[in-house]
Amino acid sequence: MKIQIINPNASLAMTEEIGHAARRVAAQGTHIMLTGTASGPASIESAFDEALALPGLMQAVEQGRREGVHAHVVACFGDPGLQAAREVADAPVLGIAQAAMHAACLLAPRFSVITTLQRTVSTAERLARLYGFEYQCRRVHATGLPVLALEAAATDDRVFAQVRACAERAIEEDGCGALVLGCAGMAPLCARLSGVLGVPVIDGVSVAVKLAEALSGAGLSASKRGDGARPEAKPVTGIMSAFALSD
């Protein structure tokens, strides 16, 4: 089985760490196709960043589709372009926020999310509502760390300490039974945090890989009818013309 993991931000260091997290949990016989983006912002922490990341993301999905992957994973916690990717993909497309929130609900009555900058809190809150987890998502906390500070997550103890302090605060204040990591760049911290926090800590990259294996293994693919239908081909002009769909 071939699973494509797409990092929609342009940080090469983060793409590598995301690849490590995915390969750590992949089953024997699962090949991880790791795709960075050729164009886009270095990190995604605003609606504007997300808009700039979408063309590169859609190109990556098309590349995976042409190579016949069995599932795609969008490895950014804002789940950018998730429905658009599903509309054009043949195989299942998983977003790490949706995957992680589902996993958290299978493990505890309620969960909290720890994210990067304060401005990303409302994005995670909006997704929790969109996915139907308004009750289960207790609260979203910001660590105050920009996404790019997490490039050093695997090696810098100060990054670990700051994320841990935020996680301890979330568990203490919210009484939540599970914790969701709100950025793909936090994946290298997951095992270490699990070891000290006493609640399940969910990294969406790992969980999305396992769900991708499960969905594809069950013979499921992307919807191609109703509200999942492939968009109609139509003229696309200007700098976006390369993205026009053909029939």
Interface residue with ligand 2AL, options 15, 35, 120, 136 (CB under 6 A): 120
Which range of residues in 41-49, 169-177, 212-220, 223-231 is near ligand 2AL by CB under 6 A?
41-49
Q: What angle do CA 208, 211, 215 make, to 5 degrees?
A: 135
- The alpha carbons of the chain give a radius of gyration, in whole angstroms, of 17
Token pair for 17: 């760490």
**Residue 89 touching ligand 2AL (CB under 6 A):** no
**Shortest distance, CB of residue 204 to ligand 2AL, whole angstroms?**
8
Residues linked to residue 33 through DSSP beta bridges, in sequence order = 4
- Is 124 in contact with 182 (CB distance < 8 Å)? yes
Which tokens hold the place of 3?
A: 């699973």
Please tell me whether residue 43 binds ligand 2AL under the rule CB under 6 A.
yes
DSSP 198-215: SS-EE-HHHHHHHHHHHH
Neighbours of 135 (CB within 10 A): 10
Per-position x/- string for 177-206, each x denoting binding to ligand 2AL as judged by CB under 6 A, each - no binding: -----xxxx---------------------
In the complex, the smallest distance separating the C-beta of residue 116 from ligand 2AL, rounded to whole angstroms, is 4
Q: How many residues does the chain have?
A: 247
Nearest residue to ligand 2AL on Cβ basis: 44
Half-sphere exposure (Cβ direction) of 138: Cα atoms closer than 13 Å:
22
Q: Which is nearer to ligand 2AL, 64 or 182 (CB)?
A: 182
DSSP 30: P
Instruction: From 31-39, 83-91, 114-122, 172-180, give the range in contact with ligand 2AL by CB under 6 A.
Output: 114-122
Query: By C-beta, is 1 or 51 nearer to ligand 2AL?
Result: 51
Find the shortest distance in angstroms from Cβ 211 to ligand 2AL.
17
Q: Is 77 in the site for ligand 2AL (CB under 6 A)?
A: yes
CB 197 within 8 A of CB 168: yes
By CB under 6 A, the residues from 145 to 184 that bind ligand 2AL are 147, 182-184
Least Å distance between CB 229 and ligand 2AL? 28
- Residue 80 and residue 44 in contact, taking contact as beta carbons nearer than 8 Å: yes
**Considering the complex, what minimum distance in angstroms separates the CB of residue 245 from ligand 2AL?**
26
Q: Residue 12 — φ and ψ, nearest 5°?
A: -65, -40
- Tell whether residue 116 is a contact of ligand 2AL (CB under 6 A): yes
Q: Quick one: tokens of 55?
A: 């063309």
User: Which residue ranges make up the site for ligand 2AL (CB under 6 A)?
Assistant: 9, 43-45, 76-78, 115-116, 120, 147, 182-185
